Amino acid sequence: MGQLSFSDVDPRADPTLRETTFVVVDLETTGGRASGDRHDAITEIGAVKVRGGEVLGEFATLVDPGRAIPPQIVALTGITSAMVYDAPRIESVLPSFLEFCRGAVLVAHNAGFDMGFLRAAAERNQVPWPKPPVLCTVALARRVLTRDEAPSVKLSALARLFGASTTPTHRALDDARATVDVLHALIERVGNQGVHTYAELRAYLPDVTPAQRRKRHLAHSLPRSPGVYLFRGPSAEVLYVGTAVDLRRRVGQYFNGADPRTRMKEMASLATAVDHVECAHDLEAGVRELRLLAAHAPPYNRRSKFPHRWWWVTLTDEPFPRFSTVRTPRTDSAVGPFRSRADAFDAAALMARFTGVRTCTNRLGRKAFHGPTCPEREVSPCPAVRDADAQTYAAAVADARALIDGRDGRPLAAALSHIADLAERNRYETAARLRDHAAATIDVLWRGQRLRALSTIPELVAAKPDGDRGWHLAVVRHGQLASAGVAPRGVPPMPVVDALTAAAQSVLPGPGPLGGALVEETALIARWLGQAGVRIVRADAGYCSPIAAAGRWAHWAATARSARLAAEQLSASRLGSELLGEPHPTREQLFGRPGVDRLLRPRETGLPRGNPLGVAG
């Protein structure tokens, strides 16, 4: 006799799909970041409860996100800040919504997005998350439909394919109703393949190759602790590096179809072994991952593999320095990194323009003067003072170094003032281009100044609550993680701190930006230090940003990015060409009448035979 299933013991434990209650939910939000320090918020919830093809109820409400809705989101959804002004907050809506969903399977199109926002909102508001079963119609559509039948699995495309009764409009309830029709059509398809219960549907979803199934034993020996894992190939080469809170569970997902990416299936099929490094907490795991990526450059990882391919902007070492874009700067006073040389060049041009650093490329000796060999141009002239000797020119170089180090923000203030002046003179396209360059430059300057402030501290010890009355501890030296550990609940943390400090790695800063530390490692540590609840236990020097850092314009840069996204969306929909373009007056506006010298009036012939001295004659 075979092993009994739940349905053999209790038929109600394995209901058919027709007997299963589904709650199809859709959210509208202010952006795509569900968690973190600058997380986005929910603006609307729409849900439809169905069973056996019948609608049992609907749930719909606007939600006050507690902040202004970005213009690009307003253009996409039509939900404005005024519409949600009197709406309830998420802490009031979430308990009612969870009660509406009790006992049902939650369904969403791209469920990871919607469930991520709901879980994060529950965590922030101390609302217990019931961990309901979740079904993603994107994953189901990719499993059921061929690419020839459905090249795109977007909700709008599937709604057209199945003839949904409701058209998706980027409003929560409309999209939820459209998803109901898509769900029913997909369930009808799988029913023809012998899938009749929810348990059978869950087993049907993973698209696992036989090669993946044969490798499932590789995850069995891994611990259920946080750490880093390395997939190795037939020649012991590193194929892929990743981090996990639970190593065994995460690695096992590569062999059970939970990760639908084709390249991950290929990687799992090639793997012959999985190595791991247990870590004290998520920060140590993230740092070790970055270091392993830089060391091995695994072929199946897409990020952080080639930090030496980035571009930097630095001042040249000569009597008349100028900005130069380089791969490996030799000084700490560098701006970057940039992913493309074009972005680095734009930032260098903007900084040179408002600091007075020359852009001409002539080599000038110590006793030379700037100007005689510098070509005079009306368009994009060299911003340096002409006929200046090295001592006079040194003032502009000092301003540039002060801007990079965060000791003088006047060049950025001048750039923003110039952008405002261009807009007042109706030169909108020129102002928009300069705005985009200024926003990108502010972002990279502010990031570099924050990271440089951390990299100059010889030693910093920080602690973060672990959620169970214990502490995650980190020892940071010159922007690099030197040691990590945990002080569980009931263990005095300071003796653990002393032990970690004594055993910490010695870090000697080298030449180059951040003393030779990986930029992404220092950035990861800075983000960790900025999380809620993190405490600085001790530091050899003060941890602070420069007094005139670019951070004071960070909000302006964020607003500029939102304006650029809104302009792109308006341009794509062909609604904003007249509003965003510079004025192009018509011929009649310029000359006051049609034609030239009244020779081409309406209904007149093109050749004015009676006027041989006219333009046409």
- What lies within 8 Å, CB to CB, of 447 at 6+ separation is 523
- Classified as helix, coil or strand, 387 is coil
- Angle at the Cα of 42 from the Cα atoms of 41 and 43, rounded to 5 degrees: 115
Q: How far is residue 252's CA from residue 250's CA, in Å, rounded to a whole number?
A: 5
Catalytic residue among 170, 184, 196, 418: 170
Q: How far is residue 143's CA from residue 199's CA, in Å, rounded to a whole number?
A: 16
Torsion sign, CA atoms 578, 582, 586, 591: positive
**Distances from the Cα of 591 to the Cα of 2, 48, 207, 427, angstroms:** 93, 62, 69, 22
Residue 59 near residue 46, CB atoms below 8 Å: yes
- Whether 184 is a known active-site residue: answer no
**Distances from the Cα of 283 to the Cα of 37, 407, 452, angstroms:** 16, 31, 19
Q: How far is residue 434's CA from residue 346's CA, in Å, rounded to a whole number?
A: 10
Residue 204 near residue 190, CB atoms below 8 Å: yes
* Beta-carbon count within 10 A of 450 CB: 23
The H-or-E segment that residue 453 falls in is helix 428-455
Q: How far is residue 78's CA from residue 69's CA, in Å, rounded to a whole number?
A: 10
Q: How far is residue 310's CA from residue 338's CA, in Å, rounded to a whole number?
A: 6
Question: Which amino acid does the sequence have at 240?
Answer: Y
Phi-psi region of 253 (alpha: psi -120 to 50; beta: other; left: phi over 0): alpha
Question: Which amino acid does the sequence have at 345?
Answer: F
Q: Which residues pair with 27 in a beta bridge?
A: 45
- What lies within 8 Å, CB to CB, of 117 at 6+ separation is 27, 29, 34, 40, 42
| φ, ψ at 374 (rounded to 5°) | -90, 120
Residue 8 near residue 1, CB atoms below 8 Å: no
**Distances from the Cα of 241 to the Cα of 157, 258, 274, 295, 303, angstroms:** 35, 17, 10, 11, 11
Output b/e per residue, 393-406; b: 16+ Cβ within 10 A.
beebbebbbbbbbb
Residues, the chain: 617
Residue showing tokens 């006219």 = 614
Active site residues: 170
